[in-house]
């Protein structure tokens, strides 16, 4: 397996997509199509990967990172030309096989890749073409067989009427014996109207040279689905959204209605959790068992523990422990930890803070850059003032503290264990444990003020 490698073709512009980025970086369920393909190769134990970049290559390079080598196809002249740009990469794997595929094929799967490799090895083939049967093959290259063996791949524009009725199509993914591929790569000529070098011509050359060309017919008819425009991209999203949701249902997750529900492919959801309409789960999010998520909640790259309720709330890059209740209309910003049994009510924002177990933040409160202990109570309208215009500072609120309504905590400040702050106070100094911190201006009452102000005004009453 270590001798095997992959070349992923990702140089195309995708003009019909009308995007400001390479086509392969357009997203299916919030994940770039190229990411789907790289993951499929990784899950197939293909650890040596090469991505051929071209249009806006710097964006592809940034996305790929260290997950693959990069070669550039500065002049895009077809799929065989792209593979030829990776010739030095192939030479490093001369004794192995190479999996070649397109970077905009998000439905390629480990099962298909590995099964095709098994056929490729058993038949000692120079090439194994991965194919699929689809109901509407228009636009795809047709697989021409004779006595069960592949003899040609005929493109749509070159196909005769009888050939156009063939439903077995070329998926655009192949396994090649690297040594055999290198021997014929320079023999591929641009003998077409587009003056491009086609990888499908390699199949013809192998057959002419009496090399074995085999076929693996995938049971996954979706593997050939790609996206050339926004309509195609929408269809990819819609198809796989339903596939993922059905998989979660089979695993014991409950959906009452699918309206507005979108779940990324790397999300994990525990059994008996209920997903309500309008819920969006993105990135590497993990939801525990017996939760209720939604309605109208967005959770990204976060962990939610068992038995938690997240109602009309957005959560980013944070951890929420067991039996937490949040919402509605809350915002949990990155680097926050919400410990078990916390209750966060409506219109609360938490940022870069730890909220201790059993704490209640009922409503209309901002907690930023703070370390909050256990069983703390926040009254309505509390604000941790963490920014002085230049630097951020932290507040520390110890176990059992009671923060009165409309308290401003000007960081850095410490509220001690079981301490209180008086409602309407602006606290700028530490409050010792068990003490009451109160800071208010002296109240003055001006007698007769309203009589003078309203003198001569007639009260109008609407009937």
Annotated catalytic sites, by residue? 363
How many CB atoms lie under 10 A from the CB of residue 40?
A: 25
How many CB atoms lie under 10 A from the CB of residue 256?
A: 12
Distance CA 172, CA 203 (A): 12
Distance CA 149, CA 116 (A): 15
* Beta carbons of 407 and 394 less than 8 angstroms apart: no
Q: Half-sphere exposure of residue 361, counting CA atoms within 13 Å on the CB side?
A: 37
Give how far the C-alpha of residue 197 lies from the chain's centroid of Cα atoms, to the nearest Å.
34
How many CB atoms lie under 10 A from the CB of residue 84?
A: 21
Written as six digits, the tokens of 193 are 């109207």
Percent helix, strand, coil in the chain, to 5, is 20, 30, 50
CA angle 122/127/128 to nearest 5° reads 65
> Widest CA span of the chain, in angstroms?
109
Distance CA 128, CA 150 (A): 10
Give how far the C-alpha of residue 443 lies from the chain's centroid of Cα atoms, to the nearest Å.
55
* Beta carbons of 283 and 266 less than 8 angstroms apart: yes
- Among candidate residues 314, 239, 320, 325, the one with its CA nearest the CA of residue 279: 314
Strands 292-293 vs 309-310: parallel, antiparallel or unpaired: parallel
- Among candidate residues 258, 213, 199, 257, the one with its CA nearest the CA of residue 77: 199
Distance CA 354, CA 307 (A): 19
Task: Give me the phi and psi of 181, to 5 degrees please.
Answer: -65, -45
């Amino acid at each position: 397996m270590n001798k095997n490698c992959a070349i992923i073709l990702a140089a195309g512009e995708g003009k019909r997509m009308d995007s400001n980025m390479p086509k392969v970086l357009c997203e299916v369920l919030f994940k770039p199509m190229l990411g789907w393909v790289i993951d499929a190769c990784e899950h197939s134990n293909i650890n040596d990967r090469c991505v051929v970049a071209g249009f806006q290559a710097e964006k592809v390079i940034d996305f790929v990172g260290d997950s693959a080598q990069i070669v550039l196809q500065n002049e895009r002249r077809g799929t065989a030309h792209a593979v030829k740009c990776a010739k030095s990469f192939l030479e490093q794997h001369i004794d192995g096989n190479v999996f070649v595929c397109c970077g905009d094929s998000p439905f390629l799967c480990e099962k298909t890749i590995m099964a095709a490799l098994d056929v490729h090895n058993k038949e000692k083939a120079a090439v194994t073409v991965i194919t699929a049967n689809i109901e509407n093959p228009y636009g795809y290259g047709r697989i021409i067989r004779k006595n069960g063996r592949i003899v040609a791949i005929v493109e749509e524009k070159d196909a005769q009427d009888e050939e156009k009725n063939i439903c077995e199509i070329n998926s655009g993914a192949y396994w090649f014996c690297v040594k055999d591929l290198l021997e014929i790569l320079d023999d591929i000529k641009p003998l077409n109207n587009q003056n491009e070098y086609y990888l499908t011509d390699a199949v013809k050359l192998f057959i002419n040279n009496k090399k074995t060309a085999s076929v693996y017919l995938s049971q996954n008819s979706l593997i050939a689905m790609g996206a050339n425009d926004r309509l195609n991209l929408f269809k990819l999203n819609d198809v796989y959204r339903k596939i993922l949701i059905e998989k979660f249902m089979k695993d014991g997750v409950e959906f009452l209605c699918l309206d507005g529900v979108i779940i990324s492919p790397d999300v994990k959801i525990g059994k008996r959790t209920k997903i309500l309409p309008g819920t969006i789960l993105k990135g590497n999010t993990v939801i525990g068992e017996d939760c209720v998520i939604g309605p109208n909640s967005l959770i990204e790259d976060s962990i939610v523990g068992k038995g938690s309720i997240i109602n009309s709330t957005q959560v980013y890059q944070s951890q929420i422990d067991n039996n937490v209740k949040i919402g509605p209309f809350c915002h949990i910003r990155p680097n926050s930890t919400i410990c078990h049994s916390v209750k966060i009510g409506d219109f609360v924002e938490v940022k870069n803070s730890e909220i201790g177990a059993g704490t209640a933040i009922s409503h209309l409160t901002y907690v930023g850059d703070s370390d909050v202990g256990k069983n703390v109570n926040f009254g309505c309208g509390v604000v941790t003032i963490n920014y002085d215009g230049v630097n951020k500072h932290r507040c520390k609120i110890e176990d059992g503290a009671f923060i009165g309504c409309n308290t401003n905590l000007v960081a850095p400040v410490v509220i001690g264990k079981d301490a209180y702050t008086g409602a309407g106070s602006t606290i700028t100094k530490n409050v010792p444990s068990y003490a009451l911190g109160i800071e208010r201006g002296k109240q003055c009452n001006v007698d007769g003020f309203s009589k003078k102000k309203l003198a001569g005004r007639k009260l109008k009453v609407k009937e």
